[in-house]
Chains A and B, each alone.
Chain A
Amino acid sequence: MADDVLLRARGVRKSFGAVEVLKGIDLEVRQGQVVSLIGASGSGKTTFLRCVNLLEEHDGGEILLDGEPVGYRTEGGRRRRLSETAISAQRARIGMVFQQFNLFPHLTAEENVMLGLTKVLNKPKAEAREIATHWLSRVGLAERRGHYPYQLSGGQQQRVAIARAVAMEPRLLLFDEVTSALDPELVSEVLGVMQGLAESGMTMLVVSHEMLFVREVSHHVVFMDQGRVAQAGPPEAVFGNPESERLRSFLGRFHGMFGI
């Protein structure tokens, strides 16, 4: 049954200077699964996500997408960094949604979604527009397609960013604390869109502090602590039976949000 593993990380290490941020991460994401990474800030969740999408390069271990190493190839037992073009092609198969939305400020909502479709996937403009309209309606923003990012609220911008990522039909979608920069009243509209995507079978790797969402939507939860995976399992196990004191105290901060 290991064949439906889409993303496999083994012993992933990453240092910034002398600081080792990832100390050997093992993790699997299966086709159609939602896997959530939780943990205190500085535990390495975001860095790991950025390594998966090659915004950072990992120093050790391996990250395999569909069995193919991300970022390098092995030649005569030696690691060779892939060319920028090859790396770009790998990134096109992985979508990412950022904390700060990162919409292209000079393009309308629709053009933001279309850019990758026309330039990376070489789709004709008309088809790209159709796809953009489809996804913008899916996130409830069809009537805002002509708006520039500065004319949209944070929640709307983030929904456009999700549409931009999904429209590329990625194998895997990464979410990096996508609700952390939002006003509280705008969080639910974004989580709603994410839940819809999860239910439609999208494979997702999610870094989030929204514990209710994580418990509700995830198939698998990974608690990271100081660059290591401290506990992993189905949400009931991680939330219901925290094995370590650190996880207990981490979850304690969200106490009262669920019946633990």
Chain B
Amino acid sequence: MIQYYFDWSVITRNWGLFLEALALGLGLAVVSLLIGSVIGLAAAYARVSGKRWLSGPVWAYVEIIRCTPLLLLIFFVYFGLPEFGIYFLDKTQSFILTLSLYAGAYMSEVFRAGLASIPKQYVEAAKAIGMRPWQRQRWVVLPVMFRITLPSISNNLISLFKDTSLAAAIAIPELTFVARQINANTFRVMEVWLTASVLYLATAWLLATLLRQVERRYATIR
């Protein structure tokens, strides 16, 4: 049996790089979730609008994104768009665009279900005190929907965070890419990938715990 000698000095020497890369991945996920939520919200309203010319294209967008592998979308946007004259995006912007569109499709389904689940009594109560249509959405429907969908939003954030590892494919220096680089330079396979895995796991778990606290804070709907 081959003996593997662990040498953790490669990790301690590169600890700063690991953390920077982790922060970048987390940042990409959060930004994409935010943009994706805006897209998703608009898409959800389009889907429930009852207007064919609006809901049709949005339906197609959601289905195309949901049924295509994310890696392929990343390649398509990064390598494909310049062919159509869109060449002003650097790789990070291109990735954020892809991940936001991807998140948007999933969030639109979350929000659509959220909108559908809001009891119409709340809207009627808002009507009865004389609130105008957009006020009813802004002050009653959206806050209630936000609370109902919070667990799904959390899940999406954690998924997106893990999906940022795919950015390694277009050389964005997030955790997976950096780990691969350090591995290539030092051949400390076990140390490097174990560290990367534990960092992903710990961060995702921390996120989940944190978001559960947020959920608890907003749990006023029973």
Show the binding face of A for B, using Cβ within 8 Å. 53-55, 84-85, 88-96, 98, 100, 102-106, 115-116, 119-120, 148-150, 161, 164-165, 168
Check if A104 sits within 8 Å of B122, measured CB to CB: yes
Interface size on B, residues (CB 8 A): 22
- Once bound together, how far apart are the Cα atoms of A93 and B144, in whole Å? 26
Contact A105 B220 (CB under 8 A): yes
CA distance A95 to B130 in the complex (A): 9
Contact of A105 among B122, B127, B131, B135 (CB under 8 A): B122
Whether B124 pairs with A55 at a CB distance below 8 angstroms is yes
Complex: chain B residue closest to A53, CB-CB? B128
Is the beta-carbon distance between B128 and A88 smaller than 8 angstroms? no
Residues of B within 8 A of A103 (CB): 125
Q: Tell me whether chain B's interface is mostly helix, strand or loop, or mixed.
A: helix
CB distance from A108 to the nearest CB of B (A): 9
A105-B144, A106-B221 in contact; A55/B130 too (CB < 8 A)?
no
Counting residue pairs across A and B whose Cβ atoms lie within 8 Å, the total is 79
Residues of B with Cβ closer than 8 Å to A?
121-122, 124-133, 135, 139-140, 143-144, 147, 218, 220-222
State whether A100 touches B121 (Cβ < 8 A).
Answer: yes
B132 touches A104 (CB 8 A): no
Query: How far is A94 from B129 in the complex, measured between Cα atoms in Å?
Result: 8
Whole-angstrom CA separation of A90 from B121 in the bound complex: 19
**Nearest Cβ in chain B — how far from A141, in angstroms?**
17
Whether the pair B124, A102 counts as a contact (CB closer than 8 A) is: yes
Q: Which of B121, B130, B133 has a CB less than 8 Å from the CB of A120? A: B130
User: For B133, what are the chain A residues with a Cβ–Cβ distance below 8 Å?
Assistant: 84, 88
From the candidates B121, B129, B135, B220, name the one contacting A106 in the complex (CB within 8 A): B220
Contacts of A148 in B (CB 8 A): 220
Tell whether A165 pairs with B129 under 8 Å between CB atoms, given A104-B144, A105-B221. Answer: yes
Chain A's nearest CB lies how many Å from the CB of B129?
Answer: 4
In whole Å, how far is B134's beta carbon from the nearest beta carbon of chain A? 9
- Most chain A CB neighbours (cut-off 10 Å) among B125, B126, B131: B125
With the chains together, A115 CA to B222 CA distance in Å?
21
A86 to chain B: closest residue by CB: B132
B142 to chain A: closest residue by CB: A106
Contacts of A115 in B (CB 8 A): 129, 131, 139
Q: Which residue of A lies closest to B140 (CB)?
A: A104
Q: A102-B125, A106-B147 are in contact. Are A119 and B221 (CB under 8 A)?
A: no
Is there contact, CB below 8 Å, between A116 and B220? no
Query: Is B128 touching A95 in the complex (CB atoms < 8 A)?
Result: yes
A89, A98, A119, A168: the one within 8 Å of B121 (CB): A98
Assess whether A55 is in contact with B139, with CB atoms less than 8 Å apart: no
Given contacts A102-B122, A148-B220, contact A88 B131 (CB under 8 A): yes
CB closest residue in chain B, given A97: B128
A91 and B139 contact, CB distance less than 8 A: no
11 contacts between A and B (CB under 8 A): A55-B127, A84-B133, A95-B128, A102-B121, A102-B125, A104-B125, A105-B221, A119-B131, A120-B135, A148-B220, A168-B130
Q: Report the nearest B residue to A119, measured CB to CB.
A: B135
In the assembled complex, the CB of B123 is this many whole angstroms from the nearest CB of chain A, namely 9
A102: chain B residues at CB < 8 Å are 121-122, 124-125, 128
Partner of B129, one of A85, A105, A168: A168
For B129, B139, B143, B144, the residue with the greatest tally of chain A CB atoms inside 10 Å of its CB is B129
The docked-state distance in angstroms from the alpha carbon of A53 to that of B131 is 13
Can you list the 8 inter-chain pairs with the closest CB atoms, starting with the nearest? A92-B130, A116-B129, A102-B125, A96-B128, A102-B121, A105-B221, A148-B220, A150-B222
Q: For A168, what are the chain B residues with a Cβ–Cβ distance below 8 Å?
A: 129-130
CB distance from B65 to the nearest CB of A (A): 30
Minimum C-beta distance from B91 to chain A (A): 41
